[in-house]
Structure 1
Amino acid sequence: MAKKIKQIAIYGKGGIGKSTTTSNISAALSAAGYKVMQFGCDPKSDSTNTLRGGNYIPTVLDTLREKNSVKAHEVIFEGFNGIYCVEAGGPAPGVGCAGRGIITAVQLFKQQNIFEELDLDYVIYDVLGDVVCGGFAVPIREGIAEHVFTVSSADFMAVYAANNLFKGIHKYSNSGGALLGGVIANSINAPYAKDIIDDFVKQTNTQVVEYVPRSVTVTQSELQGKTTIEAAPESKQAKVYKALAAKIAGHEESKVPAPLEVSELRAWAAKWGDYLLALETGEVRTEAVGNL
Structure 2
Amino acid sequence: MQKIVIFGKGGIGKSTVTVNLAVTYAQKGLRVLVVGCDPKHDTTVALTGGRLIATVVAAAGFRDGRVEISDVVVRGRLGIDCVEAGGPEPGVGCAGRGISRMAEILEAKRVIDPSRYDVVLFDVLGDVVCGGFAAPLRQGFAEKVVIVTSEESMSLYAANNICRAVRTYLSNGISLLGLVANLRGGADEDAEVVRRFAALAGTRVLADLTRNARLFREAERRSMTVCELFPASVAARRFRALAEQLILLDPAQASVPAPLSDEEFFELSRVDFTAARGAFSSAAAVASPAPAPTPIQAVSAWAAPRVEENEIDLRAEADDPVLDVRSGAGQWGDRERWRLFFADREFERNRESGVRFSGPILWLQHGDIECRYSTPSFDEGLVSFLNLPCVPAYGELVRAKGSGDYGSTNLCEADVIGGGLEALDAALRGAEERGGEMIVINATCVPLLIGDDWRMLMERAKKRSKLEFLYNSPASGQPLNMAKALFDRLRRDPAFSSVAPAARSVNLLGFPPGKGTEELRSLLTAAGVEVNLALLPFFDYEAARHFRRGGLQVLYPAAERRDLYASLLEGEPSRAISPPAPYGLEGTRRWLRVVCEAAGADAGRADAAFEDARRDAAVDWEDARARAAGRRLAFV
Q: Is this a same-fold pair by TM over 0.5?
A: yes
CA contact (8 A) 1:23 1:51 kept: yes
Map of 1:41 onto structure 2: 37
Q: Out of 9, 12, 35, which is 1:13 matched to?
A: 9
Map of 1:260 onto structure 2: 260
CA contact (8 A) 2:5 2:121 kept: yes
* 1:216-235 superposed matches below 5 A: 216-235=214-233
Cα distance change of structure 1 residues 260 and 99 upon mapping to structure 2, 3 Å threshold? same
- Taking the aligned partners of 2:150 and 2:180, their CA distance within structure 1 comes to 8
- Kindly tell me the number of residue pairs found equivalent between the two proteins: 270
CA contact (8 A) 2:61 2:68 kept: no
After the TM superposition, which of the residue ranges 52-61 and 183-192 deviates more from structure 2?
Answer: 183-192
- Taking the aligned partners of 2:122 and 2:233, their CA distance within structure 1 comes to 26
CA contact (8 A) 1:28 1:245 kept: yes
* Residues 224-280 of structure 1: per-residue CA shift (max 9 Å, x gap): 1111112222222211111111111112123320000011111111112999xxxxx
Map of 2:381 onto structure 1: none
Q: Helix, strand or coil: the match of 2:145?
A: strand
Q: Out of 188, 191, 200, which is 1:203 matched to?
A: 200
CA contact (8 A) 1:218 1:237 kept: no
Give the partner amino acid of 1:22: T
Percent of aligned pairs with the same residue?
39
Map of 1:148 onto structure 2: 145
The alpha carbon displacement at 1:178 in A equals 1.9
The alpha carbon displacement at 1:120 in A equals 0.3
Map of 1:290 onto structure 2: none
* 1:119-198 superposed matches below 5 A: 119-173=116-170, 175-187=171-183, 189-198=186-195
Q: Helix, strand or coil: the match of 2:57?
A: helix
Map of 2:72 onto structure 1: 75
The alpha carbon displacement at 1:171 in A equals 1.9
* 1:55-66 superposed matches below 5 A: 55-64=51-60
> Cα RMSD over matched residues?
1.9
Map of 1:98 onto structure 2: 95
- Taking the aligned partners of 1:126 and 1:255, their CA distance within structure 2 comes to 22
Q: Helix, strand or coil: the match of 2:59?
A: helix
* Residues 124-169 of structure 1: per-residue CA shift (max 9 Å, x gap): 1000011251110111123210011100000000000000001111
The alpha carbon displacement at 1:115 in A equals 2.6
Find the structure with the greater CA-based Rg.
2
After the TM superposition, which of the residue ranges 113-122 and 180-189 deviates more from structure 2?
Answer: 113-122
After the TM superposition, which of the residue ranges 113-122 and 226-235 deviates more from structure 2?
Answer: 113-122
* Residues 24-72 of structure 1: per-residue CA shift (max 9 Å, x gap): 0111111111110000000000000001111110100011477742111
Map of 1:24 onto structure 2: 20
- Taking the aligned partners of 2:229 and 2:268, their CA distance within structure 1 comes to 40
After the TM superposition, which of the residue ranges 201-210 and 100-109 deviates more from structure 2?
Answer: 100-109
The alpha carbon displacement at 1:123 in A equals 0.8
Q: Helix, strand or coil: the match of 2:151?
A: coil
5+ long unaligned stretches in structure 2: 276-636
CA contact (8 A) 2:41 2:85 kept: yes
After the TM superposition, which of the residue ranges 62-71 and 185-194 deviates more from structure 2?
Answer: 62-71
Give the partner amino acid of 1:11: F
CA contact (8 A) 1:132 1:168 kept: no
Q: Helix, strand or coil: the match of 2:54?
A: coil
After the TM superposition, which of the residue ranges 63-72 and 182-191 deviates more from structure 2?
Answer: 63-72
Q: Helix, strand or coil: the match of 1:246?
A: helix
CA contact (8 A) 2:38 2:85 kept: yes
Map of 1:214 onto structure 2: 211
- Taking the aligned partners of 2:168 and 2:127, their CA distance within structure 1 comes to 17
- Taking the aligned partners of 2:204 and 2:53, their CA distance within structure 1 comes to 35
Give the partner amino acid of 2:71: E
Q: Helix, strand or coil: the match of 1:24?
A: helix
CA contact (8 A) 1:163 1:259 kept: yes
Is 1:269 matched with 2:266?
A: no
- Taking the aligned partners of 1:202 and 1:122, their CA distance within structure 2 comes to 29
* Residues 157-210 of structure 1: per-residue CA shift (max 9 Å, x gap): 00000000011111222x325221100110261111111011001101101111
Give the partner amino acid of 1:223: R
Q: Helix, strand or coil: the match of 1:62?
A: coil
- Taking the aligned partners of 1:234 and 1:89, their CA distance within structure 2 comes to 34
TM-score, normalised on structure 1? 0.87
Is 1:111 matched with 2:108?
A: yes
- Taking the aligned partners of 1:88 and 1:270, their CA distance within structure 2 comes to 37
* 1:270-285 superposed matches below 5 A: 270-272=270-272
CA contact (8 A) 2:206 2:242 kept: yes
Q: Out of 238, 262, 265, which is 2:236 matched to?
A: 238
Give the partner amino acid of 1:222: E
CA contact (8 A) 1:170 1:256 kept: yes
Cα distance change of structure 1 residues 172 and 116 upon mapping to structure 2, 3 Å threshold? closer
Give the partner amino acid of 2:269: A
- Taking the aligned partners of 2:2 and 2:216, their CA distance within structure 1 comes to 27
5+ long unaligned stretches in structure 1: 276-292
Give the partner amino acid of 2:204: Q
Q: Helix, strand or coil: the match of 1:51?
A: coil
Give the partner amino acid of 1:255: S
The alpha carbon displacement at 1:96 in A equals 1.9
Map of 2:289 onto structure 1: none
- Taking the aligned partners of 2:55 and 2:112, their CA distance within structure 1 comes to 18
CA contact (8 A) 1:77 1:85 kept: yes
- Taking the aligned partners of 1:125 and 1:64, their CA distance within structure 2 comes to 23
